[in-house]
Each structure stands twice: as C-alpha cells, then as structure tokens.
Chain A
Amino acid sequence: MVSTYRIQGATGEWEVVIGLEVHAQVTSKAKLFSGASTAFGAEPNTQVSLVDAAMPGMLPVPNVECIRQAVRTGMAIEAQINKYSRFDRKNYFYADLPQGYQISQLYHPIVGEGQLLIEADEKAGIPQDKVIGIERIHVEQDAGKLMHDQHPTMSYVDLNRSGVALMEIVSKPDMRSPAEAGAYVRKLRSILRYVGSCDGNMEEGSMRADVNVSVRKPGEEFGTRTETKNVNSVRFVMQVIEYEANRQVDVLENGGAVDQETRLFDPNTGTTRTMRSKEDAHDYRYFPDPDLLPLELEDSFLEECRASLPELPDAKRRRYETELGLTPYNARELTAEVETFGRFETLLAATAAKIGKPEAKVATQVANWALSVAPGVMKSLGDEADPSYATAEAQAAILAMQDKGEISGGQAKEIYEIVLKTGRDPEEVADTEGLKQVSDTGAIEAAIDEIIANNADKVAEYRGGKDKLFGFFVGQTMKAMQGKANPAVVNQILKDKLD
C-alpha cells in the first residue's frame, strides 16, 4: 500500500504528498447559466450571450443538463450526491470575468465524498491497487480569455468560454508519487469519458489540474503546500510534482520554509514559479448567489441519472476477466478508453455471431487480435491503410476463417493487409489470392509419406525416443505444403503415421 517514491535529500528521505483539483469542462451544448454555445474553436466573442457579458439586469438560469452531468459523474465515483446544494459567488475583479464574480459552489457542493481506484502498475512504481479519496465535486463557471498579442499596448478579451460549465473535482491529499498522480488523472479522465460528462481533451483545455504538493519526512505531519495552477497534461502534472517536491526539499534542507503560495508551471523549462503569495491572496467574499435558488434534486431525477450510467471501467474490467476469461493485462488495456472497449465489443459481437459461438469462447482470440494483431498490421501499413476499411464485419470474417482452420495466423494478417489497402471482401481475398490452408488430408498425407520415406534415419531416432524431432517433421511438411497446410491436420496425420 505504501508508495516507495522518495526524494533523497541531504538529511534523508522525503515523502511527497499530492492533492489534485481537476477542472473538467462539462459536456453540454449550452453554458452553465446561459443558452450560448460551448463549441470549441469559434471566432472570439461569437458565443457570448447577454448573461455571459454581464449586461445590466441579466440573470443566470441553471442549465439542467450541466447539473445532470455533475450528478452522473458523482455517481460514477461512488460519491455522496447532495440533494440540496447551492451556488455561491466568488468575488474578484479581472477583465476575463465580466460579472466581477464567478458563480461556484463553496458551502454546499452538489457532490460530496467519493473515491477512485488506481491500479497497480509495477513498472510505473505503483506496487498495488490504491484507492484515492475524492473530497467533493462542485459546479462552476469558467472565465473568458485574455489575448495579449493583438495590440501593442492593450489586451483583448474573448468571452466565448465565459460561463461554460466546469466541474471541479477535488481529491484528498492521498497521492504519494508523480506516478500515482498520473494514474489518478488518467483514471479520472477515463471515467469522465465513460460517463460522457467531459470529453477529457486536455489539449483544448477541457481538463486541467491545479496541483497541490507538499513534502514531509515519512510519518510526520503534512508540510506547507504550494498550488500550481492550470496544468494541462498528465506528463506536466507529473513534472510539476517532481519539480515542486525537489524544490521544496531544497528549500527546507537549506533552512528555509515553504511559502503557501500559488505557482505557475512553465512547460518550456519544466519548472514552476511564484504567481502570487499568501499575502496577495484574494479575499473572495463568498456568499450565496441571490439570483439563484438552492438546487433541490428530486429522487426521480437521481434515479434517471443513475439509470443512464454506463458500465464503468472497474466493473467492465472485472467482467472481462471473469466472464470473458481475458487476462488482467488484456482486460485493463481494453477497458482503459471508451474507443478501445467500444471497438472491441463491436468486434466481439460480430465475431461470435459469425462463428456461431458464445462471446466468452471467442473473446481471447478477439482480444489478441484487437490489441496486438490488428494494430500491428495497421501500423506496418502506415499511410497505405485506409482505416475506414477496418470494419467489424471484415475483421470478424477473418477471425471466423481462422477459427475454422481455413486460414493460418500468418494468412489472417496477409488478408487483413489487403483488406485495409483495398477494402476487398476478406473471404474473396482468401479464395482468389490462395491464402487458405490446405486441410485436404490426401495432399497432406502424400507429402508426409514422402518426407517419412526420405528421412528414415530421423524417423528411427524419433521412434527411439527423441520426441523433439516431431517439430522437424511438422516443419518439413509445412515447407512441402508451402505453408498452407492446416497445422492441426498436419499434426494429426504425423502422429498417426509416426507413433
């Protein structure tokens, strides 16, 4: 359970304590309190309602879809859903904040305590599965964006993001290494994408993290933490922790004290620097937003939210292992991302139907194909492959031929290559390109008879107890058959004739 990650200082080992506040943009067509669009990449100030621009007399009206997504997300992390919650105003002046306050939830968040499991990953330095506590999720408005490069002396403001709904997902200070923090963000992203409450696109800023880091001697009290704002990739989150932990250890070991402050990350240098100190911290004067009534969620609404949840990553992974009999590795790989399991499940269904066997009987074959064979072929072809030809039907047809022994693994790859390049029908390719195994016992028997006749010495040795020579006969037979013989048939006939 205990992470072994330590910073080696001059005075001994230091443990890192990490908490993350992840801001996830809620997937919704309209903003949290206005009807303006949330689409990414529009021309500046084209998605701004009167409310978003804080014109005089404008009022916020909650977008139920955003509330619904926050509740579903809370349910997905097994959290307490607060049937009573309230919006508060966080007051501060900035040019990207038209109202002069952000509508957020300080006192009564919509989602209370929950948790998330990060899985053991020996290579990454996570020896065992670990549960990370989640303190709360609250819903709030995003701010606009300042553009400083449009004019020599003035800054421009783009309010397209102003008022977009964010979920702030606050972890407990439960992480102890950059690897754990990275795994936490990846797992959270996966859950959000399963639920469909956030697209998880960190490049477009749909997900970003405030990283709280402190260090301590193992077993001692928590140290003073710093908060590094707006970190927008998993790699950067891990870099921030590495850098901050080492910086803090240096400060402490040189007799200094860590300042409780807000810091900024510079991706170019991989370092952080002071943004504002505690003394400069704002007094946000939070108070309940008088324009909005408290949110009171009805049981029917909660039931609808719960019923709409898909199977979540942990449950799906367990089911892949127990019901489909997949290896833990395959189960984890296939369930990590929405796209991956989606493709897998479609292919599995198509293959099982094509072959006429239950899914569990073909799952391992399909998993291996989906995780290693198919991506390998796709990768080797590079630009020559047209991904639109990678249909479930085509792949299922190939897997079915393989299952019936009509083609070998090598032939399956060859057929798939042709399919990806041309879009031709796999069965037609197998027939016309001669990519089928020979299962005709007569032809194989003839070839084997000849080999036995030509290798009397080897036959004698085999029969004398040198079992390993069986492989030699198989090889000779396959060679004689130009690789197209069905190995199972070959084995059977060889056994009959040699034993």
Chain B
Amino acid sequence: MTALTNLGVKDIRDGVAGGEFTAREVAEAFNAAVAEAASLNAFIVTTPDHALAAAEAVDAKRARGEDLGTMGGVPIGMKDLFATKGVQTTAASHILEGFNPQYESTVSQNLWDAGAGMLGKLNLDQFAMGSSNETSYFGNVNSPWRKAGSNAAMSPGGSSGGSSSAVAAHIAPAATGTDTGGSIRQPAAFTGICGIKPTYGRCSRWGVVAFASSLDQAGPMARTVEDCAIMLEAMAGFDPKDATSLKMDVPAWETGLSADLKGKRIGIPREYRMDGTDEAILKSWEQGKEWLRDAGAEIVDVSLPHTKYALPAYYIVAPAEASSNLARYDGVRYGLRDLPDGAGLQNMYAATRAEGFGDEVKRRILIGTYVLSAGFYDAYYNQAQKVRTLVSRDFAEAFDQCDAILAPTTPTASFPLGSLNDDPLTMYLNDVFAVPASLAGLPAMSVPATVNADGLPLGLQIVGKPFDEQGVLNAGLAIQRRANFTAKPEKWW
C-alpha cells in the first residue's frame, strides 16, 4: 500500500469515494510515512489517532451512502500556527510549549467538516517569523531535497517549512500554510510543490496565532494546482468571528479550473529583474512566459515602480503589528511563566519573554517597538503605510493592462541550513518577490517550474487581481501542464 502516499488530495478523495481504497488505509499509510520520517523534523507533534478517527468517520459515511465532503478521507498536515482543540499548539515557540487550546481554528474546523483528518502539527519558523525554518524552538526542519552529489542539509524554506517538507517528502498529501510575506510561496518554491495565498480575508484568521494581522493569510500547500484548488475551497469562507473576513461566497474553484488562457493577458513586471537573482531563475521566468503564451495568453510588459520599497516597508509594518500581537504572551494566563524568586510583575514579564521567545522573534519585537515609538512613528510606520498604499496602487494600475502577473517566487533556490544565520538581511531578501503581493492583499501562488543545475526546484509565481484566485489557479495549471515537473527528492530519511 505504499503507493497510496504517492497520491494527492484529488486522487485520495476520488479513490475513497469510488471505493478503490478506504480512508482508513490512506490514513494508516500516511501515519506510517510520518513515523518513518522523524529525521525531517517536519512535525512538532503527530496525531495518528486524529487521522484514523477522521478516516473511520468518512468510511462509515460512505457505508451509509452519505456525502463524504470535498476533502473526504484526505489526511493532512496542520501548520502549528492553527489552534487545534486539545492538541498542543505552539507556533514553534517555547512560550506556548504545552498549550492545548480549548478551541479549534475556523480554517482547521472547515477542513475537518470537509472530511479531512490530521496527521499532526507541522513545524514552522517561530511565530511564522523566518524564511528557512531555522527559528523554531523545536529545531529546524530538513528539506527532503539535497543538492546533487551533496549530503548537506537544505532549508525547506519558511515559515511553512514543516508543511513544504512534509508535502514534498510525500508524508502528507497536502498541508495548511500561512503566508504573511511569502511564507507559503517561498517554501513551496524551495521544495517543488504548489502553494497559494488567497486574497486577504478569504480564509478566517480566527484561531490562527497572529504574526502580522493585516498580512496573515492561510492557504493550502500541495503537489498540484488541482489539489490546491480543492483544499482552498474547503478552507475559505466568510467568518463572522473575523472582522476582516471577506463577506463573499467561495467560488467553485475546482470546477472552474481551465488551462486555456485565450484572451488573457499576463503582465511581466520589469522591476522584478533584480541584481542578485539567479540566472537559472531568470531563465525559468522566460520559460514561464513561453508556457503561458503557448496556453493562449498574451504577454505584456508592466511596471510596478514601488517594488523596491516593498520589502523595507514590510519589515516595518509586519514587526510593528507583531510587537503588539505578541504582547499577550506575558506569563499571566497561559503558556510559559518564569517567576524568579521575589520577582514582581515586571520581572516576571521580562524573565518569561526572555526565556520564551527566540532571537528572531525578539529581533522583530524590538524592531516593531522601535518603529511605533513616539518620535519615530511618522518616520517609519506612517511612511511604510504610505508605501503600502503605493504598492497596492502599482498593482491596480498594472491590472488595467493585464489579468495576472508572472514573476519568480524567490531570487534563489534553497540554501544549506545555517548558511544565512548570521545574515538576517540576506535572509529577508528571500521574500523580495513575495512581499509586494502580501502588502497589497492579492492572491498569489507558487508552482514548480524546473530544477536548477544542483537539482533543486525553482518556482514561478502568479499574482492575481483581488478575489481572482481562479485566474491565478488557471495560470498555475497552464504552467503545471507544460512544466511537467516530475522531479522528486531521493529518499534519504
């Protein structure tokens, strides 16, 4: 039954519904694959019982002839940023170690309601802050990929590095991710899988540990565009418990899929041709244009003039919000409490937060606190908000001339773990192509295009108009059909 782990969301769902195999068989296969892959460190906790229980419920429904749901029988990995009732939820931090929520996030509940089960809680960069999955309190995640001829451990990207690693290694058919400034797209690109961040507000943030509220969006990570469409449809939806949730019906993205791009115009932003971008990446971008042209689209040049200000603005807005969002981790009500002998309240705060947060989290809290301080607020936070408006306007104007934008997902392929630890700025540059769409709240997706000379995957990014996930998915599908990306990491774990 090992073959079951080669299946994705659609194949599992259809196979279970068609009686080719039971949901329980699928869950068992993936539970075994997860257990075998401990060396990837993709999971913080595994929940084989949850996966089995969900599978049995689906099998029972099938026996009764009931509807199995759009994710019926599909076991998935859940990024450990989503609160899961009774299952430890840590955001990969020490400060939340041992925290068992009494509530279920809206997105995870939507998935369970659609018939999915949970293999476990996936590792990530601590509080989703990082681009290499090295800031986790529970140790880095290893990418299943390695450079050809090397045994050096590679980064699966971040912050959804547990998700990307697990899906690429076929120990989960799909996983949830969250994307604040590229945290779905960059790890997807690094590991040769698909990942889509929908329009801001499509997926409820209720029950998702907040990093930067105005940017955080959940989305699916899977090996095909079709699987992403199916899973996003299950995750999305208006939630009255999230005031920023979109009050719109969820389109039928799966049935709306079409790789025919006739009459569509795809914009190529000239400002994304940046120094330091890999030749191989530029080449894959050119290839991407050809594929989309082949699919019937017209390729047009567009300009996004404020692109170079997007990353600096992001590194003001996101830490500012984070510095406030993370104030609740204070040792008073839940999570870690460090109360030195004779300590007062202030000492308890200081000790708890010093012990409970990792260096990258502290760095961003400090940046955020600084940019919001009296005397600096206008120069930093307000200025960054203006840049954000300009970046959004750039996209709006570009979308007068095109239906979607094609760009690289990242400026480089994956890098060896540890190689950028002392160079946060280079690390931050990983997200230079991802961040503008986050600032503008636009749907954006990464799909695998090819591998570079080292045999490492490269991704292409499609950015769409607000609410046009369908257009993004369709362009992604057109690339997928032509890229014919079949490379797989060699199993070493």
Of B110-118, B237-245, B291-299, B484-492, the one with at least 4 CB within 8 A of chain A: B237-245
B334 near A61 with CB under 8 A, answer no
Q: Mark B325-358, 1 if CB is under 8 A from A, else 0.
A: 0111010111000000000011001000000000
Instruction: Determine the distance from Cα of A155 to Cα of B332 in the docked complex, in whole angstroms.
Output: 11
Give chain A residues whose Cβ lies under 8 Å from the Cβ of B103: 50, 55
Q: Mark B209-247, 1 if CB is under 8 A from A, else 0.
A: 110111000000000000000000000000011111000
A91 near B373 with CB under 8 A, answer no
A56 near B324 with CB under 8 A, answer no
Instruction: Determine the distance from Cα of A155 to Cα of B346 in the docked complex, in whole angstroms.
Output: 13
A100 near B241 with CB under 8 A, answer no
Residue of B208, B327, B345, B373 near A57 (CB, 8 A) is B208
A292 near B333 with CB under 8 A, answer no
Most central of A57, A286, A287 by chain B CB within 10 Å: A57
Instruction: Determine the distance from Cα of A157 to Cα of B334 in the docked complex, in whole angstroms.
Output: 13
- Chain B residues numbered 350-402 whose CB sits less than 8 Å from any CB in chain A: 369, 372-374, 377, 381
Q: Considering only CB atoms, which chain A residue lies closest to B95 in the complex?
A: A56
A101 near B83 with CB under 8 A, answer no
Known: A50-B103, A98-B328. A290 touches B214 (CB 8 A): yes
Give chain B residues whose Cβ lies under 8 Å from the Cβ of A62: 243
Is B309 in contact with chain A by the CB < 8 A criterion?
no
- Chain A residues numbered 58-95 whose CB sits less than 8 Å from any CB in chain B: 58-62, 89, 91, 93-95
Q: Mark B98-137, 1 if CB is under 8 A from A, else 0.
A: 0101110100000000000000000000000000000000
Q: How far is the CB of B91 from chain A (nearest CB, A)?
A: 7
Q: Considering only CB atoms, which chain B residue lies closest to A101 in the complex?
A: B324
Is A357 in contact with chain B by the CB < 8 A criterion?
no
A57 near B328 with CB under 8 A, answer no
Give chain A residues whose Cβ lies under 8 Å from the Cβ of B242: 59, 61
Known: A98-B333, A285-B372, A293-B243. A56 touches B321 (CB 8 A): no
Most central of B244, B321, B328 by chain A CB within 10 Å: B328
Is B205 in contact with chain A by the CB < 8 A criterion?
yes
Instruction: Determine the distance from Cα of A91 to Cα of B212 in the docked complex, in whole angstroms.
Output: 15
Q: Considering only CB atoms, which chain B residue lies closest to A281 in the complex?
A: B374
Instruction: Determine the distance from Cα of A290 to Cα of B384 in the docked complex, in whole angstroms.
Output: 14
A95 near B372 with CB under 8 A, answer no
- Chain B residues numbered 223-274 whose CB sits less than 8 Å from any CB in chain A: 240-244
Give chain B residues whose Cβ lies under 8 Å from the Cβ of A324: none
Give chain A residues whose Cβ lies under 8 Å from the Cβ of B333: 53-55, 98
A95 near B324 with CB under 8 A, answer no
Is B320 in contact with chain A by the CB < 8 A criterion?
yes
Q: Considering only CB atoms, which chain B residue lies closest to A53 in the complex?
A: B333
Total interface residues on A, CB under 8 Å, equals 30
Give chain B residues whose Cβ lies under 8 Å from the Cβ of A155: 345
For the A-B complex, the count of residue pairs with Cβ-Cβ distances under 8 Å equals 100
Instruction: Determine the distance from Cα of A61 to Cα of B321 in the docked complex, in whole angstroms.
Output: 18
Main secondary structure of the interface of B (DSSP, over half): loop
Is B87 in contact with chain A by the CB < 8 A criterion?
no
Instruction: Determine the distance from Cα of A291 to Cα of B99 in the docked complex, in whole angstroms.
Output: 23
Q: Considering only CB atoms, which chain A residue lies closest to B81 in the complex?
A: A57
Give chain B residues whose Cβ lies under 8 Å from the Cβ of A496: none
Instruction: Determine the distance from Cα of A101 to Cα of B327 in the docked complex, in whole angstroms.
Output: 8
Is A283 in contact with chain B by the CB < 8 A criterion?
yes
Give chain A residues whose Cβ lies under 8 Å from the Cβ of B209: 56-57
B345 near A95 with CB under 8 A, answer yes
Q: How far is the CB of A143 from chain B (nearest CB, A)?
A: 13
Give chain B residues whose Cβ lies under 8 Å from the Cβ of A287: 320-321, 324, 372, 377, 381
Q: Considering only CB atoms, which chain A residue lies closest to B368 in the complex?
A: A285
Give chain B residues whose Cβ lies under 8 Å from the Cβ of A98: 328, 332-333
Is B96 in contact with chain A by the CB < 8 A criterion?
yes
Instruction: Determine the distance from Cα of A21 to Cα of B184 in the docked complex, in whole angstroms.
Output: 47
Is B89 in contact with chain A by the CB < 8 A criterion?
yes
Q: How far is the CB of A464 from chain B (nearest CB, A)?
A: 92
Known: A157-B332, A285-B373, A287-B381. A100 touches B327 (CB 8 A): yes
Q: Considering only CB atoms, which chain B residue lies closest to A90 in the complex?
A: B324
Q: How far is the CB of B343 from chain A (nearest CB, A)?
A: 11
A99 near B327 with CB under 8 A, answer yes
B330 near A93 with CB under 8 A, answer yes
Give chain A residues whose Cβ lies under 8 Å from the Cβ of B327: 91, 93, 99-101
Is B206 in contact with chain A by the CB < 8 A criterion?
yes
Instruction: Determine the distance from Cα of A287 to Cα of B316 in the docked complex, in whole angstroms.
Output: 12
Give chain B residues whose Cβ lies under 8 Å from the Cβ of A59: 205-206, 241-243
Q: Considering only CB atoms, which chain B residue lies closest to A56 in the complex?
A: B209
Is B207 in contact with chain A by the CB < 8 A criterion?
yes
Instruction: Determine the distance from Cα of A50 to Cα of B207 in the docked complex, in whole angstroms.
Output: 10
Give chain A residues whose Cβ lies under 8 Å from the Cβ of B83: 55-57
- Closest 5 CB pairs between A and B? A100-B327, A290-B214, A285-B372, A290-B213, A54-B328
Known: A100-B326, A283-B374. 8 other contacts (CB 8 A): A56-B209, A57-B82, A57-B83, A61-B242, A91-B323, A285-B374, A287-B320, A287-B321
8 contacts between A and B (CB under 8 A): A55-B333, A56-B209, A58-B206, A61-B243, A94-B345, A95-B332, A285-B372, A292-B244
B: which residues have CB within 8 A of A?
82-83, 89, 91, 96, 99, 101-103, 105, 205-210, 212-214, 240-244, 320-321, 323-324, 326-328, 330, 332-334, 345-346, 349, 369, 372-374, 377, 381
